[in-house]
Amino acid sequence: MNPESTSTPGGKRPLVSIIIPMLNERDGLATLFDRVEKSIQNTPVDWELVIVDDGSTDGTRDVVTQELKRFSRWRVVGLSRNFGQQPAYRAGLAHATGDAVIFSDADLQDPPELIPQLVAKWLEGFKVVTGCRTSREERGLRRFFFDLFHQTFHRLTGGVMPPNSGMFSIVDRVVVEHLLATRETNLFLPALKCWYGYPQTTISYARKERAVGEPKQSFVKLLRYALDGLFSFSDLPLQWIGMTGAVLCLLSLGYAGVLVAEKVLQLFGFFPSLRVLGFTTLAAAIFFFGGLNLFALGIIGQYVARIYRETKGRPLYVVESILDSEVQKKSSTPKNPA
């Protein structure tokens, strides 16, 4: 987008909303806001902060509201309980008024110092600019599963989103409107924001370790998130089940043919006796095919559960409170004495 093209007759600069979801992030807030402010001040845009408190229990909502008072444009959307990172980002989208939005986690793993690069690419005309991780500081099992997910996702979906990317990005209003109009309960925004098309590009960066505290996406939450991504962007697993079934049918037909041929040859005296399968072979075959059936059912179940969730049409999140810089300004303005 060209800044001039969004300028109002009054010559206003484009507005960028920075959406940050938070679950118990009170300890890192001061540094986060300092770094975001320093970084975005160097860009030719106006900005607002849209904080979504996803049911924090450590007082994040109050601390955030205090910290934000030094900024001119902000909103704190408080959800009624913990709904998860993706619904929290979706709530932020619904309350962002910018010509573009930046998605950023609160833990400083994605350095705010990259915001000027995101904004510059957006001003060049790209509708989605995504941060791609050239390296990660996470180690151990978490790291292993992150890598496994990104490789599998890329293979299954044929690259709907840039490899090794996540939420950290800037998205133009035109795409935001599509996201708002898309009614999906099994949300996987990292890929969905890229799915609509339009000119897109990436920036590269090294992903840091969390600045403070423990990861708020537990292993179970991350697994559900990964499965939502895989199953809502690919039906290849269903095709694989069909193909495995077809291959197994062909193999068993072939094996039946071999057994019949042996029987006929034996009748003509070519074999002294019929081969008899041992118990171990039979037991192994029964366990194997039983397991394969359950596995296939499990994969189909993943799709069925998601269809079920979609058809219920429950809201993705419930907003309990909204605090706004405008409302705060009005309420703190001294009233004229009568």
- Cβ nearer to ligand UDP, comparing 21 with 78: 21
Q: Is 24 in the site for Mg ion (CB under 5 A)?
A: no
- Cβ nearer to ligand UDP, comparing 84 with 98: 84
Q: Are 63 and 88 in contact (CB under 8 A)?
A: no
Structure tokens at 47: 């900005």
CA pair distance 282, 265, nearest whole angstrom:
24
Give which of Mg ion, ligand UDP, none residue 67 binds (C-beta under 5 to 8 Å, depending on kind). Answer: none
Q: Is 107 in the site for Mg ion (CB under 5 A)?
A: yes
Q: Is 85 in the site for ligand UDP (CB under 6 A)?
A: yes
Burial class for 272, CB neighbours closer than 10 Å (0-12, 13-18, 19+): exposed
Structure tokens at 200: 């897109």
The footprint of ligand UDP on residues 280-319 (CB under 6 A) is none
For 54-183, strand residue ranges (E) read 74-79, 100-103, 128-136, 165-172
Q: Is 110 in the site for Mg ion (CB under 5 A)?
A: no
Site of tokens 């957006």: 122
CA pair distance 23, 53, nearest whole angstrom:
6
To the nearest whole angstrom, how small is the minimum distance from the Cβ of residue 116 to ligand UDP? Answer: 21
Query: Which one-letter DSSP state was computed for residue 269?
Result: T
State the binding string over 63-102 for Mg ion (x if CB under 5 A, else -): ----------------------------------------
From candidates 216, 226, 230, 233, binder to ligand UDP by CB under 6 A? 216
Q: Are 101 and 170 in contact (CB under 8 A)?
A: yes
To the nearest whole angstrom, how small is the minimum distance from the Cβ of residue 22 to ligand UDP? Answer: 5
Size of the site for ligand UDP (CB under 6 A): 17
From candidates 68, 88, 129, 171, binder to ligand UDP by CB under 6 A? 88
Q: Are 208 and 104 in contact (CB under 8 A)?
A: no
To the nearest whole angstrom, how small is the minimum distance from the Cβ of residue 337 to Mg ion? Answer: 51
Q: Are 186 and 310 in contact (CB under 8 A)?
A: yes
State the binding string over 120-159 for ligand UDP (x if CB under 6 A, else -): ----------------------------------------
Query: What values do phi and psi take at 151, rounded to 5?
Result: -65, -45
For 37-145, strand residue ranges (E) read 46-53, 74-79, 100-103, 128-136
From candidates 17, 39, 43, 82, binder to ligand UDP by CB under 6 A? 82
Q: Is 25 in the site for Mg ion (CB under 5 A)?
A: no
What SS3 class is residue 237? helix
State the binding string over 39-68 for ligand UDP (x if CB under 6 A, else -): ---------------x--------------
* CA max distance for the chain: 119
Which among 163, 169, 210, 216 has a CA at the least distance from the CA of 189? Answer: 169
State the binding string over 176-215 for ligand UDP (x if CB under 6 A, else -): ----------------------------------x----x
Residue by residue, DSSP assigns 212-227 as SS--SS-HHHHHHHHH
To the nearest whole angstrom, how small is the minimum distance from the Cβ of residue 131 to Mg ion? Answer: 13
Query: What values do phi and psi take at 296, rounded to 5?
Result: -60, -40
From candidates 43, 104, 109, 165, binder to Mg ion by CB under 5 A? 109
Give which of Mg ion, ligand UDP, none residue 65 binds (C-beta under 5 to 8 Å, depending on kind). Answer: none
Interface ranges with ligand UDP (CB under 6 A): 21-23, 25, 54, 82, 84-85, 88, 105-107, 109, 210, 215-217
Point out which residues bind Mg ion (CB under 5 A).
Answer: 105, 107, 109
